Structures are given as structure tokens and as C-alpha cells.
Amino acid sequence: MQIRSVLFIVGVLLACVGASVLLPLGVSLWYGDGAFLGLLSSLVIMIGGGLALAYSNKPEEELHLTLRDGFAVVGICWIVASFAGGLPFVLTSEASLTDAVFESASGFTTTGATIFPNVEALPHGLLMWRSLTHWLGGLGIIVLSLIVLPLLGVGGMQLYRAEVTGPTPDKLTPRMQDTAIALWKLYGLMTLVLTVLLYLAGMDWFDALNHSFSTVATGGFSTKNASIAAYPQASIQWILIVFMFIAGISFSLHSRALRGMVTVYFRDRECRFYTGLLLLGSAIMVFNLVENRLFQADTLAEVEYVVRAAVFQLVSICTTTGFVTENYNLWPALTLVIILMFTLMGASAGSTGGGLKVMRLVMLFRLAYMEIFRLLHPHSVRHLKVAGKSVPTEVISGVVGFFLLYLMITTVGTLILAAQNLDLVTAFTATLTCISNVGPGLGSVGPVDNFSHLPAFSKWTLTLCMLLGRLEIYAIIVLFVPEYWRD
């Protein structure tokens, strides 16, 4: 592995993260919120440290990264960003190192779990930094899920390799840069459009920009303690529903749709599955809520309200955004089971969302069906196909292995949290929501609660879960395998 090349890239990334502090720095100066010096110190430390690291490891020749280098870049960059991103929280608030890293990792992994019980008391500059970590994390996730992970062959993501970039199988290519820039332009356009729409619907510019950063990145940080419940306007909630849904679809489909291939959404199996499950789940939740008399449905306005409440929560959970408008901790058991199922499932591969990904579930369901068919017809020969093409054996094993690791990590995380005297519901849902990068869980980490009361070791455990989930597990685990570091 080319250690110097990897450290050079990490240094450049650290400097870029530091430079992004300029936006919250300007916001702090504008509002005079007292966070200016802390943010300025963070900027200087990150840019200075990043440039020093990059300069001291500057390669003498042009960078040519291998697959092994790619794993190191992906894993180390996200870890460094999570620690460096905690600096503004330490220097501008009373957050401890544990809380600061948790909040930063939650931001960059677009999880949205927070340790701040009163976010409205935070300086405007720090609120902007929280939301910006989401947006920056989303930028990285788009490239990670559509370019880097398919190239590295992580968890069946090879399916996206030829579709998006067509790189050679043994090294990163310059074509990735053009693809990344095109995807980032689309990402920025969505952010701009959503900001304007939220402003027109009743938010001020500051809140509109913050919530746009969180929505497009499917993050979930809000500038309000009550999250989106602080905005009772139906127009704001429906706008967010639409954009959360869009953000949960693969950006490669959006890119092709903008080039005139609009029917790509209807032809894509994963997109159809994603949409159909959301419609089915929302319908069941609406009927269950009305049946249990938690909501009235006697007038058209009441019907719209219960439909909006159910659809908003399910879309928010499925896309792993994590915004809330209702305390669904109080909802019937059936709706909570549906919420947990969609927490596990997550959004589409190639989106900014987390979770198992719809693509993998589609493949697992088809594998189960093929096994049943094989039992009934033992002499038949059938191959798993996606989009009309046979899926290679290594992709199938990658998906199955990823699913098993996902369940194992969730189980271990639950045991660790339960061992620290957390109730089972809290321990399980906190672990699941963090590895799925959703944000709110159930129990004492529910939609109207936060993670501030958890023991320090639980927070570090959940921080690791967030990173594992965001980097598709393998990209982190491989760094701890001794063979990886051997030439």
C-alpha cells in the first residue's frame, strides 16, 4: 500500500473540511453569536494540519491508487473527518470529546442522531456547521456509493460499476472525476431548489438552508428541538416528503433522467420496489392509526393530516433522513414494526441514504425464491438476474455476507448497550438506527428524545456503528485485517 499517497489525500481532505468552516464562520460573524473565535480556531487547526500532512507526504509522481489504497482512503478519511469535525463543538460549546466526535460522526455519516438536548440554544454558526457536515458527508457518499465502492467490490456494489463509470478493475481512473463533478452539480441544484421552496413555504433563509442541507443528504439535523414539528405548515412537510423521497433514489437515475431518459425510473427494479413498499407501508400505517383512533378521519382535512403524518414519518425513516413531525413512540405496535422494518431496509443504493439498501433486499428475496423453486424442481438450473443480467457469484456472496455482518454487528451493539443498563428497546433501536444511519430510534432515544443520556462507552459504540453502516461495513473492517497491511 502507498502510505504516503494515502496520507497526502487525507491531508487534502482535512484541509478542504477546514476550508468549509468559512461558511459557518461567516454566519457566526453575521449573527454575532459568540462562536466566531472557536470556529476560526477550528478552521486554522484543520487547514494547517491538513496542509502540513499533505505537504510532508506529497508524492513525487502522479497518483495511481490501487484497490488496497482505495480502502485506506475511504476508511481513514471518514474517521479523520469525524474527529476533526468535532473541533467546532469542543471549542464553541460545552461538549466533551466523546459528545463532539459522536455529533460530528453523526453529521458526516448523515445519521442525524444528536447529543444536544436543546439545539435552539446553540450559536447560529455551530448550527450551520452541524448541517454542513451532513451536506459534505452526502457529497462524499454519492461518490463513495456510485464510484468507489463498486470499484472495490464491497457488498455487491459491483452492480453499479459499469453503469456509472466503467473503470478498469484494478485501479481508479480519471473518468471518475468527471462523473463525480456531474453528480455534485445535480446535488447542488437539488439543494438550491429545495432552499428556495422552503423559504417560499414559510421558513426563514437560515432555517431553509440548514434543512435543505439535511434533507438532500438524508441527514436529519434540524435547527429546532421539535424538528419539523416546529413547522406546522402542510406545504413545508409535503415539500420535504417529495425531496426526501427523491434523495432516497439513486443519483445515477437522476443524472440520466436530466439527460432526457425520464422512463429510467419506471424501468429500474430497485426504484419500483422502493416506491411500492413506501406506498404499501404508508397505507397500512394510515389505516392502523385511524383504526386505533389516534387520528380522526371524518373530514377531508383530517384525512390529509393523518396521511401526511404517516407518509412523512415512513419516508423520513426509509430514506434514513430522520426528521420527525409526530411522537411515533406512542403509535400502535404495528406501525412501530413497520418503522423498524424500513429502518433496516433503508433507501436505494447510489443515494445518500443508509440501511441495507433496497437493491440488496431485492436480491435476497430473489435468492430465497430461487431456493424454494430449486426444492420443488431439483433438476432445474436457474441464475439470479438483475435488470436482465446474470449476477456473478462474487456479488451474491458479497450481498449475503454483508447481510450477515449487518445482523451480527446489530446484535453485538445491542448486547454492549444492554450491558450498560439500557432497556432492550433502547439498546436495540439505538444500534439499528445508527448502523442504518437513520437517527431517531424508540424508547429513550425516540423521536422526541436524544442520545445525551447514554454512557460514554455506548456513544463510542454507536459512533463506530455509524461509520460501519455508512462505509458499507467492509471498508472499515478490512482495515483491521492483518493481511491488509502486508505487502
Domain boundary, last residue among 125, 150, 175: 175
Q: Name 480's Cβ contacts closer than 8 Å, sequence gap at least 6.
A: none
Q: Total domain count for the chain?
A: 2
Residue 248 placed within a domain: no
437 known member of a binding site: yes
Residue with cell 428541538: 225
| Contact predicate 222/323, CB 8 Å | yes
- Please tell me the least confidently modeled range out of 48-62, 199-213, 423-437, 459-473: 48-62
219 known member of a binding site: yes
What is the span of the domain harbouring residue 132? 3-175
Note the pLDDT of residue 176: 60
Note the pLDDT of residue 474: 83
Residue 107 placed within a domain: yes
Residue 157 placed within a domain: yes
pLDDT in tens, 318-329: 999 999 999 999
Q: What's the average model confidence in pLDDT over 202-206?
A: 95
Runs of H (alpha helix) within 388-455: 393-418, 424-435
Residue 180 placed within a domain: no
Residue 406 placed within a domain: yes
| DSSP notation for 16-66 | HHHHHTHHHHHHHHHHT-S-HHHHHHHHHHHHHHHHHHHHHT--SS----B
Which residues does residue 385 pair with via DSSP β-bridges, in sequence order? 390
pLDDT in tens, 40-92: 999 999 999 999 999 998 877 766 667 777 778 888 889 999 999 999 999 99
Domain boundary, last residue among 160, 175, 190: 175
pLDDT in tens, 369-425: 888 888 888 877 777 776 667 777 888 888 899 999 999 999 999 999 999 999 999
- Please tell me the least confidently modeled range out of 181-190, 358-367, 382-391: 382-391
Runs of H (alpha helix) within 144-204: 149-152, 161-164, 175-201
Domain boundary, last residue among 157, 175, 193: 175
Residue 369 placed within a domain: no
pLDDT at 168 > cutoff 50: no
Residue 152 placed within a domain: yes
Would the pTM count as exceeding 0.75? yes
Note the pLDDT of residue 385: 72
| DSSP notation for 313-344 | HHHHHHTT----SS-GGGS-HHHHHHHHHHHH
- Please tell me the least confidently modeled range out of 25-34, 36-45, 160-169: 160-169
3-20 and 36-56 helices, crossing angle to 10°: 160
| Contact predicate 55/455, CB 8 Å | no
